[in-house]
């Protein structure tokens, strides 16, 4: 766990491990680290408003997770009610609480005493977070601030999932809150790409997204089955599973949800497009003419489903010569420009081919500062500045 509370107090630079939008929020609250009421119950509660539940993303006080506070000299004991006894993030919560409270003058030692919420408390919390039963989570509704970006391609193998995860990380670096929905059920690769193969936490039917080591929150059917296990489902079952992910997952309302769509124009892709009518499509292609023709079909399917095509990304567009630095168009073609022209949109970015990719779990994000990472940051900035789609309601 990054000791970001102590670094904030010392004024030392951040190491980049914490998402930019959370750093900005922390900076706003960190002008005066000493609470107004000092070492008192009110002061401790005030300080704990800086500590967030890692899964839910809101502070422990507003979530009613802080119970008894006991002060004995320089020892502080804080009671924390968890949603489940087996919460996998106990250690992180303990570290965050301890780091924050030790910044209060007079506090030398902190003890965290964990308990479990009552059924009533837990249900009240989940209702306040997720609302009652519905067909779709608040983030996917038309009136939500969240922008849904569906990353689509005509076929597999063009780097659609690579674009999805790196775009999400670029948006995160640019200061936006972001989550990933891996809707590519048959070929889910997001868990491996982010190196997070564990099962998500489920409380009273509400599923909490997994947070990867890179700070990205995501959910995938790949985390509900054993690694390597094939998902052999007919389309109606897949549609039901995806509906659950959009209904039962606690997405909160981030700035962006990146949806890694299944390739092609099949039933699943069409169903998802129809379920999220406010979504915007980002089409991924490679330079070859054949790839462009297939990608164009995916883009036209999105348009037929009344989705806005926000742009095109040309992946593996060129290889930078290691000797002279010039672009080598080893695949030839201008697929990205052709697709964008046919769809009446723009090429938001061209991603170079990287021959030294390891392909190891968790190694699919381009290192910050590299040419591909910078290209994704330009795409993220262009996407964030693009006009938000507003659906017209017919009265």
Which of 98, 111, 114 minimizes the C-alpha distance to 71? 111
Domain's final residue, options 117, 148, 163: 117
3-state helix, strand and coil shares in percent for the chain, rounded to the nearest 5 = 35, 20, 45
The residues facing 350 across adjacent strands are 314
Distance CA 343, CA 89 (A): 45
Q: Any alpha helices (H) in 72-118, and if so which ranges?
A: 90-101
Instruction: Tell me whether residue 38 is in a domain.
Output: yes
Q: List the structure tokens of 208.
A: 């909490």
pLDDT the model gives residue 3: 38
Q: How far is CA 98 from CA 20, 50, 112, 188, in A?
A: 22, 12, 8, 38
Distance CA 25, CA 17 (A): 15
Provide the edge-to-edge strand list for the sheet that holds 256-260.
210-211, 217-220, 178-182, 256-260, 147-153, 280-285, 308-314, 347-350
Q: Are residues 158 and 110 in the same domain?
A: no
Distance CA 285, CA 157 (A): 10
Distance CA 153, CA 265 (A): 9
Burial letters 153-178, b for 16+ CB under 10 A, else e: bbbeebbbbbbbbbbbbbbbbbebbb
Q: For tokens 């960190």, name the residue.
A: 30
Q: List the structure tokens of 243.
A: 């509906």
Q: What's the gap between Cα 141 and its chain centre?
A: 18
Q: Are residues 187 and 249 in the same domain?
A: yes
Instruction: Tell me whether residue 336 is in a domain.
Output: yes
Residue 363, classed as helix, strand or coil, is: coil
For the chain, how many structural domains are there in total? 2
Distance CA 311, CA 149 (A): 10
Q: Are residues 145 and 73 in the same domain?
A: no
In this structure, what CATH number is given to the domain that contains residue 268?
Answer: 3.40.50.300
Strands, E, within 127-185: which ranges?
147-153, 178-182
Instruction: Tell me whether residue 284 is in a domain.
Output: yes
Q: Are residues 69 and 181 in the same domain?
A: no
Distance CA 324, CA 369 (A): 20
In this structure, what CATH number is given to the domain that contains residue 35?
Answer: 3.30.300.130
Q: List the structure tokens of 218.
A: 């995501």
Q: How far is CA 165 from CA 15, 215, 247, in A?
A: 21, 11, 22
Q: Are residues 285 and 370 in the same domain?
A: yes
Distance CA 392, CA 349 (A): 29
Length of the chain: 395
Instruction: Tell me whether residue 105 is in a domain.
Output: yes
Instruction: Tell me whether residue 346 is in a domain.
Output: yes
Instruction: Tell me whether residue 22 is in a domain.
Output: yes
Domain's final residue, options 87, 117, 147: 117
Q: Is 102 exposed, middle or buried (0-12, 13-18, 19+ CB in 10 A)?
A: middle
Q: Are residues 154 and 68 in the same domain?
A: no
Q: Are residues 161 and 109 in the same domain?
A: no
Domain's final residue, options 65, 83, 117: 117
Q: Are residues 45 and 181 in the same domain?
A: no
Phi, psi of 84 (to 5 degrees): -140, 150
The pTM score is: 0.75
Q: Are residues 55 and 201 in the same domain?
A: no
Confirm if 298 and 264 have CB atoms less than 8 A apart: yes
Q: Are residues 258 and 176 in the same domain?
A: yes
pLDDT the model gives residue 389: 58
Instruction: Tell me whether residue 131 is in a domain.
Output: no
Strands 280-285 and 308-314: parallel
Domain span at residue 47 reads 4-117
Residue 32, classed as helix, strand or coil, is: coil
Over its length of 395 residues, how does the chain's per-residue pLDDT go in tens digits?
A: 333 333 333 333 333 344 444 444 444 444 346 777 778 999 999 999 999 988 888 899 989 999 999 999 999 999 999 988 877 788 999 999 999 999 999 999 999 999 999 888 888 887 777 665 566 788 888 889 999 999 999 888 899 999 999 999 999 999 999 999 998 888 888 999 999 988 888 887 888 999 999 999 999 988 888 776 777 777 678 778 888 888 889 998 999 999 999 888 777 777 777 778 889 999 999 999 999 999 999 999 888 888 899 999 999 988 888 788 788 888 887 899 999 999 999 999 999 987 655 556 677 899 999 999 999 999 999 999 987 755 544 33
Instruction: Tell me whether residue 390 is in a domain.
Output: no
Q: How far is CA 189 from CA 197, 346, 367, 379, in A?
A: 10, 27, 19, 22
pLDDT the model gives residue 29: 43
Q: Are residues 11 and 53 in the same domain?
A: yes
Q: Are residues 191 and 303 in the same domain?
A: yes
């Amino acid at each position: 766990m990054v000791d970001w509370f102590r670094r904030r107090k010392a004024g030392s630079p951040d190491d980049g491990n914490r998402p930019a939008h959370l750093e900005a929020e922390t900076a706003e609250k960190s002008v005066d680290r000493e609470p107004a009421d000092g070492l008192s119950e009110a002061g401790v509660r005030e300080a704990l408003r800086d500590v967030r539940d890692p899964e839910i993303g809101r502070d422990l006080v507003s979530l009613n997770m802080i119970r008894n506070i006991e002060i004995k000299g320089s020892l502080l004991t804080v009671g924390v009610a968890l949603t489940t006894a087996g919460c996998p993030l106990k250690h992180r919560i303990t570290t965050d609480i301890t780091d924050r409270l030790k910044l209060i003058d007079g506090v030398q030692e902190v003890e965290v005493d964990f308990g479990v919420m009552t059924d009533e408390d837990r249900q009240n919390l989940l209702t306040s977070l997720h609302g009652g039963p519905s067909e779709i989570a608040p983030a996917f509704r038309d009136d939500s601030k969240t922008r849904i970006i569906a990353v689509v391609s005509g076929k597999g193998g063009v780097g659609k999932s690579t674009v999805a995860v790196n775009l999400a990380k670029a948006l995160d670096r640019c200061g936006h809150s972001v989550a990933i929905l891996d809707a590519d059920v048959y070929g889910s690769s997001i868990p491996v790409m982010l190196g997070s193969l564990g099962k998500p936490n489920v409380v009273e039917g509400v599923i909490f997204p997994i947070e990867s080591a890179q700070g990205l929150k995501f959910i995938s059917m790949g985390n509900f089955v054993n690694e390597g296990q094939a998902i052999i489902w007919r389309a109606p079952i897949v549609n039901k599973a995806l509906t659950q992910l959009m209904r039962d997952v606690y997405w909160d309302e981030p700035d962006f949800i990146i949806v890694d769509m299944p390739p092609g124009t099949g039933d699943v892709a069409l169903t998802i497009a129809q379920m999220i009518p406010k979504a915007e499509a980002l089409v991924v292609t490679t330079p070859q003419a054949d790839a462009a023709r297939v990608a164009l079909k995916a883009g036209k399917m999105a348009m037929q489903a009344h989705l806005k095509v926000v742009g095109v990304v040309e992946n593996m567009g060129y290889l930078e010569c290691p000797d002279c630095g010039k672009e080598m168009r080893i695949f030839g073609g201008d697929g990205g420009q052709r697709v964008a022209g046919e769809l009446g949109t723009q090429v938001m970015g061209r991603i170079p081919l990287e021959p030294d990719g390891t392909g190891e779990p968790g190694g699919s994000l381009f290192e910050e500062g590299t040419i591909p990472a910078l290209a994704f940051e330009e795409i993220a900035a262009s996407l964030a500045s693009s006009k938000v789609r507003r659906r017209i309601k017919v009265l």
